[in-house]
Each structure stands twice: as structure tokens, then as C-alpha cells.
Amino acid sequence: MMLDIKSLDRKELEDWIQKKGFEPYRARQIWHWILKKTVASFDQMTDLPKSLRKIMNEEVDLSPLELVKLLESKEDETRKYLFRLRDGNFIESVLIPELEKGYFTICISSQAGCMMGCKFCFTARQGFKRNLKTSEIIDQVVQVKRSMSEPSKLRNIVFMGMGEPLLNYDNLIKAIRIFIDPYGMNFSHRRVTVSTCGLVPYIRRLGEEDVRVNLAVSLNAADDEKRSLLMPINRRYPLKELMAACKRFPLANGRRITFEYVLIDGINDSIEDAKRLVELIRGIRAKINLIPLNPSPGIEFSPPPWNKILAFQKVLIESNLTAIIRKSRGRDIMAACGQLSGRYGKDKAKIKEIG
């Protein structure tokens, strides 16, 4: 079996290198080539001994993902990457340009499909396939950086793609450690965000880790009846338990929990809903991302009219809350929030191979 090198942390790679008879520092060199220079071949690692490169060519798997389609939005230059996994499943990643700020954010997947069943989410309609390996999480960032003309401008990583990140907890944490390791990708922990639909025990566990990343919670309703309608997970972890976990979540100075609130016409967008939201998050250092629903095939809901969105936001702002209406990116290529699906995996005739 080939060594899955992108699933190894630095210590594990050093141990493997030593077993092969080479100095441990060679692991840092290899990481530099893979994670920072994003090379696609061991032969490009010119400062390594030829004997080590020969071993790696024979024994190491370098690219667990195959890029099969790349779409770019005509509206805002957002890019969506469709990757094929070795078992034939598909996942998607999104590169989001922050043009006014001069940098990029990558939205990555943690699972193939999703089992959480949120009623407004197209990904949920695809069902759950499996958790991603650490290497499959890492390789999304590696391959997207490789495709960029200025990879140094990739600043933020958000686990907001396909799947519920906290249900793939061990591989999630290992990937985060590789992302923030100075010898790895050297991302700031302040620029890594994990989004969850509200898995209370895992939120607590994440708060106990020595990696301090940002937490985003997909909320979408401020009372249990509506949230349970939209998000079945609320029946297991109702709002009282979720808010208690959020209040206990450790935050560094200047950090806040992000509550994501998808606005759905006639469901959760009334002035009364906004007032309940104000009361629900009282006492939590938070900001609210208001996200008008992004329409998707087979989703029965629709976004509210703009005047209702503004009225909802006004209630929050007048209550001294930070409430931002998040502009949807990449809707014309089904890359916006709630639209990812890896759906080409079910219709291979639609796949355009990239040569």
C-alpha cells in the first residue's frame, strides 16, 4: 500500500524518513515542497537526495484528489473545483476572491455528501458518502493554491464546504494542525474557521483543543420549533444546549463567534424572528452573517424580498449587534452557500476532463 503522505503530521513524516535511513530534517524539506511550493512531482524536489526521491516515487501517494472540472463565475470571479476521490465519489471546493481586500478565501469540504439533512441545503439532498481523509482535506488547499497566479494571497480557510466538519473530528483537527504549523502551510489560526450545524459535544471538545480557531454556527432560527423544521439536529441538541456551549466556548481577545442565519421567505425572516434572535444570543460575543437563501434545484424555499432582509438587519443593528448581509458568491456556478453537491458524480457525461 502506498504511503498517504499528506495525512502525516510533521512528527509522523520525520519518523518515516528516519526509518528509510535519512535525516529527520528531510521531512521539513518535503513539507516545504508539498505544502508551500505545492509541487506535483517528487522529481521537482531538487534539494533531496535522488535515492530518497526514488523511494518516494515508488512508495508514496502524492495526490489523493483528481481535479476534473474547474468553473469560474462570470459574476464575481469565484472559482469552483470539482475533485474526484479515489473511490469515485466527488467533492467540491470554492475559491472566493475578496477583491476589495486583495486576498482570497478557500471554502473546503470535510465529507463527501452530508448526513445532517438541513432542509434548505442542496448538499444535504445528495446524502452522505463518507468522511474525508486528512490528505483529502489538505490536498484541496494544495491543488487550489497550485492553480492560483499568486498563491500567497490565499489568506483564509473556512470549513464550510460539503459535510459537517465536527463529524470528521480527528481528521479535521489533524488537518488544522498541518495548516497552521510554521513548517506546514503556516496559516494563522485566526484565519481558520470551522462551521457546524450545532453538535454540542464537539463544540465543547473543539474549545478544549490547543488550536484556537474561529467557530461559526449555522443557526437559521431563534426558536426550537422553526429550527427543528429546518435543521433536524436541533431535536437532539436544542437551542438552550447550543447557546450554553457557545457561551462557554473560549474566545481570544477580539474574537467572536459567527452565527450564520440563512433568511428564508415566510419562514424565519419576520421582525419577531429578529427580536427572538437578539434575545437568544444576548451575552455572547458574536456577529451575525445574514445569508439570503441561495436557490437550488429541488429546494422548496425562496429568499425574502430585499426590504424584508433590510428590516431584519435593522432590528439587530438597533440592538447593538454586528449584523452583515453576506453577499452570495458564485451563484451562477452553484458555488454559493448551500449549493455544493458534487452532483457531476452521478452524471459522468457532464464531466469535462482537465488536461
For the question of residue 92 being annotated catalytic, the response is yes
Residue-by-residue DSSP string for 235-276:
GTS-HHHHHHHHHHS---TT--EEEEEEE-TTTS-SHHHHHH
Helices (H), 134-214: 134-147, 169-180, 200-207
Contact 237, 198 (CB under 8 A): yes
Beta strand pairing call for 214-218 and 192-196 = parallel
Of residues 14, 75, 92, 279, which has the active-site annotation?
Answer: 92
Of residues 136, 209, 337, 353, which has the active-site annotation?
Answer: 337
Q: Is 307 exposed, middle or buried (0-12, 13-18, 19+ CB in 10 A)?
A: exposed
Residues in the chain: 355
Helices (H), the chain: 10-19, 25-31, 50-59, 134-147, 169-180, 200-207, 224-230, 239-248, 271-280, 306-318
* Catalytically active residues, by annotation: 92, 337
